[in-house]
Structure 1
């Protein structure tokens, strides 16, 4: 007799999202590390995203608390990993992320750099290795330095290569940033404090401690288990997209988690056998769960299939051509609009739906005030120029 798969509705998934991703006031974390643990990895392509993702989910959050975790305690580790994207992950998970995804990304980055150096400058692998040894020595002496200071100490890094040759956006730049990217991807160096405010993208670099070695197959199972815990139920396509794995690695990792199938209505989903979503529904919060999430927030970018929390008609307003999402406004596990910050510091919001009542609007105003206090004198300028971002910035 065929096994009947439990059915999980979109409403159940949104209720799960609100609590697991700490978007309800009653579910908020009390530490930066709790936020990172709940979401597995925080997007860090835009430096401000890490801080704002924490601010939305933590009681009493301050920029100083996030800086403490990143640069003093080093309880969070910045890595180039899933989908060749920069993330911040809990230190305890760094070796798993390195073995399951970052190692492959780093190998591709090194191969691409070696080809460019050979094709454009005639340098071989031995030349690059010598430059990297000099870079490590320079950083050991300097302690912490930006790319310009490192290039002053290692003049070979000032050589230039052409990016996107023959394209309208062709540029020439020093090889320093490419070399630093490869070495960071390999976990040999790491980004330290930025120059300027916590929202600045001009980082200093320092030496990194090596990660413990973990077998890749085992690491993929552990990472898939973490993802299912935080984001389940998910589809096979969700797992493959979020991790950046090929289909074989995705299937093997999923099998290793012991996940069970559920019916999502439009697709087959997977959850861990002890997932609370399979049990009786939790009592709903009394008030609306409203959040202002930043560009590339891990919740907004956590699934390939987003129709259960995002009206497809709103995609053109919120996403750029590369599939990256701008700052979003959430209510009860659903995207209902977006937000931006004016030069005078005011938080402005734009609703994409008319289905909001007074309680929701009051909660939106309260969250905007909370975010304003967190930002202080810092101004956020998202690099993503979606139609909604342009409208709000105007």
Structure 2
């Protein structure tokens, strides 16, 4: 018996509906928007807001700020691919156990190695004392920036020498490393930043670590959700997206028990159990997604929604996608915001009059939502640079 066929058009239908980009599929809450793509990239502060905006039925930046800093229904975690993501509080324990714990352990080993090599007698006991002092300062002061914590905790003003005796020897303060470690361990979290929602100068608050979930169980839950959002996909796609070992990927998929399907290019891929039928066609939709948006970054192979000829214009040298324009599940151009606030975009093809009208309307919706805020992508791409020049 031949495998069920999932066409390229059907894969694009899934993006409109499952990634909540078609207007009729948009989410009611920020947590729902994040869950629809498993996690929102959070390396760039503005990305979280713009990715959520594209998937929400209503609500401005204040709704996303409430989710992050008041309801705490959305939280930032250093996790997949050693990258900062924002995930729903419901999913956070699984992300923590599946991925973040291993990163935290690696971060601790690395810092202790640097402390030992520095030769000042700083060790695990000293680090534990510095961490405890930082937490005490947060309890006493309330939400604080890294600079404020350093001013309050003498140990955080300690400097160490990295790669002593080598030509790339450098002196480094420990404050950033200690704060990063506390965050990776789940003992502090990012709170409301100084400045607007586009700022990355976060304040920190003391919090309790996430409940422990068996790592294998957590990885299976992540794989199950990812496969629903991103399938058809391959184990190579999941390995790339998570940063797990191939062994862990295969064990997690074995628990999920995915079905195999055929793709139009002749390759096979995986979908959730029973998820082999055609996806309903959503209404026509346009989207302006930010750099690093999950819909553009969800697979190692993105050929079904991106013409390879357009890749060089839309990605930076490190493989990070920039701001993109979408029409019915396909990337058709890029966009940027100029210094005067104008949203500008360029098509990399000819998707037709209906597409141009819908994209124009979506650009106006984005401009109204952003208001007076100014967005500069952290990962500059050739097209984005041209548009703002």
TM-score range, shorter chain: over 0.9
1:68 equivalent in structure 2: 66
- Runs of at least 5 residues in structure 1 that lack an aligned partner in the other structure: none
Measured against aligned partners, the alpha-carbon deviations of 1:185-219 in whole angstroms (never above 9, x if no partner) come to 11011010000001101000001122111100111
TM-score using structure 2 length: 0.95
TM-score using structure 1 length: 0.94
Displacement of 1:329 = 0.6
Measured against aligned partners, the alpha-carbon deviations of 1:19-70 in whole angstroms (never above 9, x if no partner) come to 1111111211222122012111111000110100011111223000000100
2:376 equivalent in structure 1: 381
Question: Within 5 Å, which residues of 2 pair with 1:199-214?
Answer: 199-214=198-213
Question: Within 5 Å, which residues of 2 pair with 1:1-394?
Answer: 3-120=1-118, 122=120, 123-161=122-160, 172-264=171-263, 265-275=265-275, 278-285=276-283, 288-353=284-349, 355-394=350-389
Displacement of 1:307 = 0.7
SS of residue in 2 equivalent to 1:242:
helix
Whether contact under 8 Å (2:326, 2:333) holds in the other structure is yes
SS of residue in 2 equivalent to 1:187:
coil
RMSD: 1.7
Count of residue pairs the alignment pairs up: 386
SS of residue in 1 equivalent to 2:373:
coil
SS of residue in 1 equivalent to 2:6:
coil
Whether contact under 8 Å (1:235, 1:267) holds in the other structure is no
SS of residue in 2 equivalent to 1:92:
coil
Partner Cα distance (1:258, 1:179) in 2: 40
Measured against aligned partners, the alpha-carbon deviations of 1:314-352 in whole angstroms (never above 9, x if no partner) come to 111111122111111111111111100011110000111
Whether contact under 8 Å (1:292, 1:329) holds in the other structure is yes
Partner Cα distance (1:126, 1:212) in 2: 25
SS of residue in 1 equivalent to 2:99:
helix
- Runs of at least 5 residues in structure 2 that lack an aligned partner in the other structure: none
Displacement of 1:281 = 4.0
Displacement of 1:162 = 5.5
Relative to structure 1, is the Cα distance of residues 116 and 297 closer, same or farther in structure 2, using a 3 angstrom cutoff? same
